[in-house]
Amino acid sequence: MYPTILWATDGSHEADVALHEALRLLEPGGRLIAFHCDQRFTGGRIGGLPVYPDETDRQRRIEERVEELRADGVDVDLVFDSTSRDAASEIAAAAETAHVDAIVCGTRGLHGVVGFLNGRSAARVLRHASVPVIVVPAHAPLHADPLETEGAPV
């Protein structure tokens, strides 16, 4: 169990699977930091535009999820970071700044060219982080909802 966890999220289903695990690992009364890195293109005509065309929708989904967590009694802070740098290094830097005890992130488990093109962020977070990184595969079994079980972090 960890007193403070950074949940790295991109608003995807895989990130929600990782959130489930983060809540299981969070100490009762612990603090969760929901961190989203809004990556931006640099230079040229598209400089400053979000890498993901649905960035606004992603942020809205993350905000809604954080509000649900707060309504369930979870001590959660929401941090959005816009950057043109690598998301993995930004995640690690945010974890260090917030003095978290662990990072939890999801992975799609992509390999080959698809994995290369989609960045393999989870693997890069492992190289940059100075705290334990828990990488949760998209197909990880979901146990009982940690917010509905006895001893859940509230």
**DSSP states of 27-55:** EEEEEEEEEEEEEB--SSTTTTSBSSTTH
Stated as kind and residue range, the H or E segment containing 135 is strand 133-137
Q: How confident is the model at residue 101 (pLDDT cuts 50, 70, 90)?
A: very high
CA-based end-to-end distance of the chain: 14
Give 139 or 18, the one with higher predicted confidence: 18
How far apart, in whole angstroms, are the C-alpha atoms of residue 151 and residue 64?
24
At the topology level of CATH, where does 2-142 sit? Rossmann fold (3.40.50)
> 141: which 2 tokens?
């079994």
CB 24 within 8 A of CB 143: yes
Task: Dump pLDDT digits (tens) for 49-86.
Answer: 878 788 899 999 999 999 999 999 999 999 999 887 88
Mean pLDDT of the chain: 85
Residue 98 has pLDDT above 90, yes or no: yes
User: What local confidence, expressed as pLDDT, does residue 143 receive?
Assistant: 64
Nearest to 49 by CA among 38, 57, 59, 60: 38
Let me know: does 5 contact 27? Beta carbons within 8 Å: no
pLDDT of residue 51: 81
> Which pLDDT does position 111 carry in this prediction?
41
Q: Which residue has the higher pLDDT, 101 or 115?
A: 101
What is the per-residue pLDDT across 135-150, written as a single tens digit (0 to 9) for each?
998 888 776 555 554 4
DSSP category for residue 96: H
Q: Tokens 């999820």, residue?
A: 65
CB-CB contact of 102 with 126 (8 Å): no
Res 42 pLDDT > 50: yes
Residue 40: phi, psi to the nearest 5? -125, 145
